[in-house]
């Protein structure tokens, strides 16, 4: 005989298979679910446990399998249909693809609605969708799911290489080369110009006055012979006024004028003397 525990296990398996077959016969053709549910929690549990059901919802709504159960449990509630009407209903074909058809649904039929908008989303008895997209669903980002992002080799983020430090240019002070100064010209000999001495002119005038006195005193021809002697005496008096030999003297205009005046006086004096002798 078989052990008792084995008999119990066989009975449990048979009962479960019979129940599944019974539920399958009771579920409408083309249902997304293989058994009825009475709450969002039961629907979420069924989606997590049965990969076939999860794959159907993921293929229809275009969302990850892991997001279906969380959305059903957090955003849906089982409510009676608020108004009757024609609705578009999606179903599973015999080949596993998803089709759609329009059916009339009476008021009060159980449906899963979106809590914020009260929009019907799923049929309550078979779980077939009434919409093509989940209302209010926001795709989760990769950082929220803690999924590491793998970059391809060409997309690997690399830190930019630091720019090489540029040394500041060394500025060398360049002193301009100044030309050598031109040699100064040698000092030329300075011409020593004797200053005009008024005393010499005064003495000459005095001697001319003496000469005129002599001219008036004598009226003979012998007096004219004294004229050269007077010139010699005049030159001797001029030379006696200088203590040292004078340098080469350039006569000034005033001196030349004085000499010319003296010569003119002598000429006048000589003419008068000749007239008297006649």
User: Is there a domain that residue 3 lies in?
Assistant: no
DSSP single-letter state for residue 140: P
* Domain's final residue, options 108, 123, 138: 123
How many Å apart are CA 44 and CA 71, to the nearest integer? 8
40 in Cβ contact with 76 (< 8 Å): yes
* Domain's final residue, options 59, 93, 123: 123
Q: Is the pLDDT at 168 greater than 70, yes or no?
A: no
Domain count, the chain: 2
User: Is there a domain that residue 168 lies in?
Assistant: no
Buried b (16+ CB within 10 A) or exposed e, 203-237: bbeebbeebeeebeeeeeeeeeeeeeeeeeebeee
pLDDT confidence of residue 92: 94
User: Is there a domain that residue 39 lies in?
Assistant: yes
Q: 73-127 pLDDT, tens per residue?
A: 999 999 999 999 999 999 999 998 999 999 999 999 999 999 999 999 999 999 9
* Beta strand ranges found along 34-118 (DSSP E): 76-80, 85-92, 98-105, 110-114
User: Is there a domain that residue 130 lies in?
Assistant: no
Q: Judge if 32 and 119 occupy the same domain.
A: yes
Quote the domain boundaries for residue 84: 27-123
Of the pLDDT bands very low, low, confident and very high (cuts 50, 70, 90), residue 30 is: very high
44 in Cβ contact with 122 (< 8 Å): no
Q: 135-159 pLDDT, tens per residue?
A: 988 876 544 445 454 455 555 555 6
* Domain's final residue, options 88, 107, 123: 123
Task: For residue 197, give the 3-state DSSP assignment.
Answer: coil
User: What is this structure's pTM?
Assistant: 0.45
User: Is there a domain that residue 225 lies in?
Assistant: yes
């Amino acid at each position: 005989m078989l052990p008792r525990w084995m008999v119990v296990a066989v009975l449990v398996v048979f009962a479960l298979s019979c129940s599944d077959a019974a539920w399958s016969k009771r579920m409408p053709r083309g249902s997304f679910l293989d058994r009825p549910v009475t709450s969002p929690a039961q629907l979420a549990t069924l989606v997590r446990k049965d990969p076939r059901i999860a794959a159907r919802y993921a293929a229809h709504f275009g969302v990850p399998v892991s997001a279906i159960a969380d959305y059903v449990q957090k955003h849906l509630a089982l409510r009676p249909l608020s108004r009757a009407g024609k609705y578009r209903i999606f179903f599973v074909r015999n080949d596993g693809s998803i089709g759609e058809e329009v059916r009339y649904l009476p008021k009060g039929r159980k449906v899963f609605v979106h809590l914020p908008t009260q929009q019907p989303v799923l049929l309550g008895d078979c779980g077939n969708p009434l919409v093509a997209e989940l209302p209010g669903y926001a795709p989760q980002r990769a950082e929220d799911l803690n999924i590491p992002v793998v970059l391809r080799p060409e997309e690997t983020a690399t830190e930019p290489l630091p720019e090489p430090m540029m040394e500041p240019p060394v500025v060398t002070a360049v002193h301009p080369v100044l030309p050598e100064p031109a040699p100064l010209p040698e000092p030329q000999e300075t011409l020593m110009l004797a200053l005009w001495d008024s005393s010499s002119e005064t003495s000459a005038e005095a001697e001319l006055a003496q000469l005129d006195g002599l001219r008036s005193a004598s009226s003979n021809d012998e007096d004219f012979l004294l004229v050269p002697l007077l010139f010699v005496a005049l030159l001797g008096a001029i030379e006696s006024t200088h203590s040292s030999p004078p340098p080469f003297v350039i006569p000034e205009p005033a001196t030349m004028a004085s000499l010319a005046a003296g010569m003119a006086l002598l000429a006048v004096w000589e003419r008068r003397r000749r007239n008297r002798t006649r």
